[in-house]
């Protein structure tokens, strides 16, 4: 275990921000999955340190610091806030410590296909079931954890997917896994695509519309000029911006909408 003093970082704000579904909160302890790694992160409420992590210092610096995007100064994004935008200022204040994670492309593709017309708790439940049915096991201190499955692991276990609560999304997940497994869609190569090419490629997968594609582009490919619009963001734009996003926000609108989303959903505006 290592102790950490992290600035501008709040694991609970990140967990609730709608970008990630495999961070689980158990009191002060958080269980965080990414690829084949699992991290236990404890909040320390008093003293000079604010977190305790289960990994080594070397692993934290080489892997988890990058996953949490800790080398980025988020002031540069927050500074685009217009001086008279009281709403965005309140959202930023409320969501201090928010960061956009560096997440796996395939996991984001499948997770946001699952996310359609589901609440966040229901999304988490379906994803966890998918991991238990298809993913590899990892045993830590005599407790079993399940990693997110690969495309081939999903296809190998596709006859068991009906137990995951996926509904009509099951067909889309199988198609996505097929296209990735056969390299019809090369998620790694899409890192070099333009925003338009990336969105078009993602939407060529059955069940991936513009909202899901935009979420994947933002949360997995860090395309900050792309803004996924759901019911919460649509309501914010209509209520506070007269139906149009201010042009000053276009470059970092993906990050700005995270502040909007986190505030509006938790405060039910």
Distances (CA, A) of 176 to 63, 68, 158: 27, 27, 12
Q: Is 53 helix (H, G, I), strand (E, B) or coil?
A: strand
Give residue-wise pLDDT tens across range 146-199.
Answer: 999 999 999 999 999 999 999 999 999 999 999 999 999 999 999 999 999 999
Give residue-wise pLDDT tens across range 51-104.
Answer: 999 999 999 999 999 999 999 999 999 999 999 999 999 999 999 999 999 999
Determine what percent of the chain is predicted with pLDDT higher than 90: 91
Q: pLDDT tier at 207 (50, 70, 90 boundaries)? A: very high
DSSP letter assigned to residue 119: -
pLDDT recorded at residue 269: 78
Q: Is 38 helix (H, G, I), strand (E, B) or coil?
A: strand
Q: Return the ∠ at Cα 191 (arms to 76 and 230), rounded to 5°.
A: 65
Query: If residue 201 lies in a helix (H) or strand (E), which one and from where to where?
Result: helix 195-203
Of 251, 221, 219, residue with least CA distance to 76: 251
259, 91 contact by CB (below 8 A):
yes
User: What beta strand segments (E) does 65-189 contain?
Assistant: 137-140, 143-146
The CATH number assigned to the domain with range 105-221 reads 1.10.340.30
Domain extents in the chain: 2-72, 78-92+225-269, 105-221
Instruction: Report yes or no on whether pTM surpasses 0.85.
Output: yes
Long-range contacts, stretch 187-195, CB < 8 angstroms, 24+ apart: 187/105, 187/106, 187/109, 188/105, 190/105, 190/221, 191/221, 195/223, 195/225, 195/226
């Amino acid at each position: 275990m290592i102790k950490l003093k992290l600035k501008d970082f709040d694991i609970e704000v990140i967990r609730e921000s709608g970008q990630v579904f495999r961070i689980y909160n158990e009191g002060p302890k958080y269980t965080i999955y990414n690829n084949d790694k699992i991290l236990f992160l404890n909040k320390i409420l008093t003293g000079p340190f604010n977190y305790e992590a289960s990994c080594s210092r070397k692993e934290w610096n080489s892997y988890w610091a990058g996953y949490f995007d800790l080398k980025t100064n988020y002031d540069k994004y927050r500074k685009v806030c217009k001086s008279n935008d009281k709403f965005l200022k309140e959202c930023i204040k409320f969501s201090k410590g928010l960061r956009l994670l560096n997440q796996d492309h395939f996991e984001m593709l499948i997770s946001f296909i699952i996310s359609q017309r589901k609440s966040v708790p229901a999304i988490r439940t379906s994803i966890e079931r998918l991991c238990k049915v298809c993913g590899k096991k990892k045993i830590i201190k005599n407790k079993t954890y399940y990693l997110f499955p690969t495309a081939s692991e999903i296809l190998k276990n596709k006859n068991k997917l009906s137990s995951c609560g996926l509904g009509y999304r099951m067909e889309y997940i199988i198609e996505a896994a097929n296209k990735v497994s056969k390299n019809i869609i090369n998620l790694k190569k899409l890192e070099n695509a333009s925003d338009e090419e990336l969105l078009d490629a993602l939407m060529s997968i059955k069940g991936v519309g513009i909202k899901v594609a935009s979420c994947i582009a933002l949360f997995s490919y860090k395309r900050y000029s792309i803004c996924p619009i759901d019911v919460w963001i649509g309501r914010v734009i209509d209520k506070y911006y007269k139906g149009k996003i201010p042009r000053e926000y276009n470059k970092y609108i993906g990050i700005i909408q995270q502040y909007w989303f986190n505030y509006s959903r938790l405060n039910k505006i």
